[in-house]
């Protein structure tokens, strides 16, 4: 995937960032106007969306300054600007991944109940937060003295910098494993949930898409490996794959975190989509368990006889308890 065209990178970044904005807007609408409860994970997601938008802007800036073009054909100003965009994009990516993963984890704390899952989720929140802060600071201050131009200017005086090859691979591997753990945490609980079939399929679809986030993290490592091999002489040409998968990783994570929360909107717009179809229950023992309305519009079971109020000399229909019905099976 070394030869990914910059146009493909821009299309992927633009389309998936747009989808992330749409789904996050639907989520916010659902939480504010339907559920009427905005939680911590909604705020975290808002920061993740802003990071996604910033990353897309920086990818466009890189494309304008030589992304996907051989570095020896670029002017010095284009090389400097491209590397500045790469530097800024790396910082934004680190922050975006931190808030995307913590969105999932805080969402688990709201959706699922269980001592084991709660403790595991809390532990992952601490681990992901500490790693995200450490990664962001390491990227921002990767060279000393702080603010040195050697990060984006190959001709600047040499500075003392971290081993960015080892650092990037460690960070990328951490994202892969943390994404896998976050994806797998609630699976045992979901498997045991007694949910209607359609709702269970909805959750399984969400987690199937969530696995794509893990896949994007893995493919991003391959893109980084190709980019690092040519870091000294042709980063601009070989960074397209890493830029593409970085954008996909964050945006797909944002979209997946929104899917469970937009169910109230789906229920309103498509009321039959997630509702289990039911079939009529046949009478038991020859007794008709269907219902009818009386003159006042009150539902009565057909097998219920109106009670006679002798003290008033009138016949009054009251609520009778019909014979228990058998449980309706899921279709």
Decide if 284 is inside a domain.
no
In whole angstroms, what is the distance from residue 175 CA to residue 158 CA?
A: 31
Which residue range(s) make up the domain with 299?
290-321
Q: Say if residues 318 and 330 touch (Cβ distance below 8 Å).
A: no
Residues 52 and 133 in one domain: yes
Q: Is the pLDDT of residue 176 over 90?
A: yes
If you average pLDDT over residues 130-139, what whole number do you get?
Answer: 96
Residues 128 and 223 in one domain: yes
Decide if 276 is inside a domain.
no
Q: Hey, how many other C-beta atoms are within 10 angstroms of the C-beta on 253? A: 31
Q: At what angle do helices 76-111 and 240-258 cross, to 10 degrees?
A: 20
Decide if 285 is inside a domain.
no
pLDDT of the residue at 258: 94
Decide if 275 is inside a domain.
no
DSSP 261-304: GGHHHHHHHSTTTSSPP--PPPPBTTB---EEE-TTS-EEETTP
If you average pLDDT over residues 214-223, what whole number do you get?
Answer: 88
Residues 52 and 192 in one domain: yes
Residues 233 and 88 in one domain: yes
Residues 238 and 113 in one domain: yes
The residue with tokens 């007794």 is 287
pTM of the model: 0.80
Q: Of 32-41, 66-75, 135-144, 274-283, where does mean pLDDT reach its minimum?
A: 274-283
Q: Count up the domains in the chain and report the number.
A: 2
pLDDT digits (tens, 9 = 90+) for 186-207: 888 777 777 777 777 777 777 7
pLDDT digits (tens, 9 = 90+) for 305-321: 443 433 334 444 444 44
Residues 215 and 315 in one domain: no
Residues 265 and 130 in one domain: yes
Residues 60 and 178 in one domain: yes
DSSP 208-259: HHHHHHHHHHHHHHHHHHHHHHTTTT-HHHHTHHHHHHHHHHHHHHHHHHHG
Decide if 50 is inside a domain.
yes
Name the region of 297 (left: φ>0; alpha: ψ -120 to 50; beta: rest): left
pLDDT confidence band for 4 (50 / 70 / 90):
low
Select from 186, 185, 183 the least CA-distant residue to 175.
183
Percent of the chain at pLDDT > 90 equals 49
pLDDT confidence band for 213 (50 / 70 / 90):
confident
Six-digit token string for 67: 């992304």
- Give 150's DSSP letter: G
Residues 245 and 299 in one domain: no
Q: Of 15-19, 51-55, 291-295, where does mean pLDDT reach its minimum?
A: 291-295
Residues 197 and 301 in one domain: no
Six-digit token string for 58: 């920086």
pLDDT digits (tens, 9 = 90+) for 37-82: 999 999 999 999 999 999 999 999 999 999 999 999 999 999 999 9
Q: What's 178's domain CATH number? A: 1.20.1070
Decide if 279 is inside a domain.
no
Residues 191 and 225 in one domain: yes
Residues 161 and 306 in one domain: no
Six-digit token string for 176: 């892969």
Decide if 156 is inside a domain.
yes
Angle (nearest 5°) at CA 245 between 130 and 175: 25
Decide if 282 is inside a domain.
no
């Amino acid at each position: 995937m070394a030869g990914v065209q910059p146009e493909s990178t821009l299309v992927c970044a633009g389309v998936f960032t747009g989808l992330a904005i749409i789904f996050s807007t639907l989520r916010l609408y659902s939480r504010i106007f339907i559920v009427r409860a905005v939680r911590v994970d909604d705020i975290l997601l808002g920061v993740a969306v802003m990071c996604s938008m910033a990353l897309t802007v920086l990818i466009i800036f890189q494309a304008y300054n030589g992304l996907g073009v051989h570095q020896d054909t670029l002017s010095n100003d284009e090389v400097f600007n491209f590397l500045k965009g790469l530097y800024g994009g790396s910082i934004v990516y680190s922050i975006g991944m931190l808030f995307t993963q913590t969105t999932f984890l805080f969402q688990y704390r709201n959706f699922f109940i269980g001592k084991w899952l709660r403790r595991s989720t809390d532990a992952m929140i601490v681990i992901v937060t500490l790693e995200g802060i450490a990664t962001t600071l390491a990227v921002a201050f990767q060279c000393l003295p702080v603010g040195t131009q050697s990060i984006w200017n190959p001709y600047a005086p040499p500075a003392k910098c971290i081993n960015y090859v080892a650092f990037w691979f460690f960070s990328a591997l951490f994202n892969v494993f943390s994404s896998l753990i976050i994806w797998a945490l609630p699976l045992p609980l979901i498997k045991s949930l007694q949910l209607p079939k359609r709702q269970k399929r909805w959750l399984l679809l969400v987690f199937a898409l969530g696995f794509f986030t893990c896949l994007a993290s893995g493919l991003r490592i391959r893109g980084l490996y190709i980019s690092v091999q040519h870091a000294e002489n042709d980063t601009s040409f070989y960074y397209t794959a890493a830029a593409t998968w970085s954008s996909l990783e964050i945006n797909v994570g944002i979209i997946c975190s929104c899917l469970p929360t937009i169910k109230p909107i789906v229920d309103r717009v498509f009321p039959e989509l997630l509702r289990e179809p039911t079939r009529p229950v046949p009478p038991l023992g020859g007794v008709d368990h269907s219902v009818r309305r009386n003159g006042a519009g009150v539902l009565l079971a057909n097998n219920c006889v109106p009670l006679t109020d002798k003290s008033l000399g009138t016949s009054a229909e009251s609520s009778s308890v019909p014979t228990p019905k058998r449980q309706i099976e899921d279709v």
